[in-house]
Amino acid sequence: MTSHFFNHSLVNLHYYRFGNGPKTMLCFHGYGMHGKQFSILKEKLGSEYTFYGFDLFFHKETSLHDQSIQQVKRGISKIEFCELINSFCTHEGIDRFCVIGYSLGSHYATVLAEKEAKRIDQLFILAPSFLKILPILQLFSKNGVANLTFRKLFLSKKGIHIALSVCKKLGVIDLKSHGILSKEMATEELRFAFYANVTFLRHLQVKQIDLITSLNKHNVKCFFLFGQRDKMYPQHLADKMISKLNFASKITLDEDHDMVNKNLPAKIYELMYDN
């Protein structure tokens, strides 16, 4: 595995390259993780794929050239994001590729698929959070007054403790998710990253009809993977969308939300070569 930067006019994008196969897989990790998350796929698939695992915005070593509150509030459009990835692919000499995205990364992956399906062979979406965006987060990200309140609340250690406790009591998150989120927001830097992710990425939301049309037009094979015990993103979320896709499957794993683990490579291999 090697570590690299792609310096774009918007961002200094950090990524890892692993595997040495002739095919390409672009990897978008989950919240609080990093570009190494899918490195578990290297042993089983590294001879057939070269993987590019990005540190997503406000994660690890990737940084905007301007990380001011004003820039965060401006956000990034779907066109801007796809231009970034296209520029990256030109830099790396990549033409066609597969895409895998987990949880937060599903937003990145599906926006890319909506706009660039003509270049995609297979799309793997794990715990597809793009199918279930909480109304409260929509309000916090898109309403000016609500966003200011959100910033004041979540940049405060006491405020985030209260907010997570309320979410747990209301059943928005379960006990395990409460513990994970508490750790992921334990410091001022981590709390800013959460605020920035919600706010900066508010435009990275696909229009399902456009995504479906694009995937069908270009015959992209799609795989939606769910954890059987994942209460945040239950498997029925994808049913309506899958029914409208020409080449799509839903797979339920014996996992909870944390499904990117040692069991995943065999399942991905099976889906790639048995479908």
Tokens of 170: 């209301």
Poorest-pLDDT segment among 183-187, 228-232, 255-259: 183-187
What is the reported pLDDT for 143?
Answer: 77
Residue 275 confidence (pLDDT) above 70:
no
Residue 168 confidence (pLDDT) above 80:
no
Share of residues in the chain with pLDDT > 90 (%): 73
Q: How many CB atoms lie within 10 A of CB 141?
A: 22
CA geometry: angle 22, 211, 137, nearest 5 deg: 110
CB-side neighbour CA atoms (13 Å) of 50: 16
Share of residues in the chain with pLDDT > 70 (%): 97
How does residue 53 score in pLDDT terms, banded at 50, 70 and 90?
A: very high
Residue 169 confidence (pLDDT) above 90:
no
How does residue 120 score in pLDDT terms, banded at 50, 70 and 90?
A: very high
Q: Provide the residue type at 65 as one letter.
A: H
- pLDDT tens column, 58-105: 999 999 999 999 999 999 999 999 999 999 999 999 999 999 999 999
**For residue 96, what are the CA distances in angstroms to 30, 86, 90, 99, 206?**
23, 11, 11, 10, 21
Radius of gyration of the chain (CA): 18
What is the reported pLDDT for 193?
Answer: 87
How does residue 171 score in pLDDT terms, banded at 50, 70 and 90?
A: confident
- How far is it, in rounded angstroms, from Cα 84 to Cα 80? 6
Q: How far is CA 44 from the centre of its chain?
A: 22
- Find the mean pLDDT for residues 242-261: 95
Poorest-pLDDT segment among 36-40, 185-189, 249-253: 185-189
What is the reported pLDDT for 192?
Answer: 87
Q: How many CB atoms lie within 10 A of CB 57?
A: 23
What is the reported pLDDT for 135?
Answer: 67
What is the reported pLDDT for 172?
Answer: 65
**What is the reported pTM?**
0.89
- How far is it, in rounded angstroms, from Cα 85 to Cα 94? 10
Residue 232 confidence (pLDDT) above 70:
yes
- pLDDT tens column, 156-165: 777 777 777 8
What is the reported pLDDT for 35?
Answer: 97
| Residue 221 vs residue 170, higher pLDDT | 221
Residue 190 confidence (pLDDT) above 90:
no
